[in-house]
Amino acid sequence: MKFDIHDGPGDETVLLSSGLGGAAGYWAPQLNALRARFRVVTYDHFGCGRTGGEVPEGVTISDMADEMAEVMRASGTPRAHIVGHALGGLFGLDLALRAPEMVASLVLVNAWSRADPHSGRCFDTRLSLLRDSGVAAFLRAQPLFLYPAEWMARNAGRLAEEEAHGLAHFQGAENIRRRIAALRAFDIDAQLERISVPVQVIATRDDLLVPWSRSARLAEGIAGAEFALEPEGGHAVNVTRSARFNRLMMDFLTRHPARPAA
């Protein structure tokens, strides 16, 4: 697993885990804010970016959470605050259930305990584009599920760059299909009350891919969870409203210093 350690002044570590794209670079808008206080670890998921590899048929969220735990061990991180976007947040939830001693806190961004049928429709549409129209069409449509329309209109050049980068570093159709199958099979809705670490849930009302009600359910089911419902920002709110997102995230993390592992 390819990872990066971004040193900071503190002795606590924040591990960042991105969504379906699986790339460490997704978190660029958060690095400066986090490094002012924390040591930060980012990584490319298995099957993605520099890590590469073929994701096996039948892969589960627990398998992917084990890969995240592997990154923690390899980077000398026995315990971390985990900030996860969508799919990446599911890894954190799984780890908090199976190995809570490794999780200081969780920040969950547009995540879920059980996928919504609407999200299933969106993923079916994306997979159909990939199968029937090819990688270029899949990548051309991707921003529609990530960003608000007004933000896309103001950032056409950036979207073109992202599309070209995605085409040059595409993780592969089978990897995409298998990772989507894993996130759709994930269901810990009945286990939320077992999560005992501090949790912040951040959602946006205008997320096209994941209805904000899925995040509300997380906050409702996890004792003591903090819920921030933003009026706008889309699925990738940490990118489109990074300053606001960073304030929310940093406020939570600094109020929940890591306790020694049990």
Answer yes or no: is 260 within a domain. Answer: no
Record the pTM.
Answer: 0.96
What CATH code is carried by the domain that includes residue 24? Answer: 3.40.50.1820
pLDDT tens track for 55-87? 999 999 999 999 999 999 999 999 999 999 999
**Mode of pairing for the β-strands spanning 80-85 and 199-204:** unpaired
Number of domains within the chain: 1
Six-digit token pair at 25? 């670079």
> What share of the chain in percent tops pLDDT 90?
97
Banded model confidence at residue 260, pLDDT cuts 50, 70, 90 = low
Answer yes or no: is 262 within a domain. Answer: no
pLDDT tens track for 162-185? 999 999 999 999 999 999 999 999
Ramachandran bin of 126, using left for φ above 0, alpha for ψ from -120 to 50, beta for the remaining angles: alpha
The pLDDT value given to residue 224:
97
Q: Please give the Cα distance from 106 to 80 (Å, whole number).
A: 9
The pLDDT value given to residue 10:
84
Q: At what angle do helices 117-133 and 135-146 cross, to 10 degrees?
A: 150
DSSP 3-state of 45: coil
Domain limits at 249? 3-255
pLDDT higher than 60, residue 116: yes
The pLDDT value given to residue 258:
84
- Which residue type sits at 103? V
Q: Please give the Cα distance from 87 to 95 (Å, whole number).
A: 13
pLDDT tens track for 237-258? 999 999 999 999 999 999 999 8
Six-digit token pair at 122? 């969106």
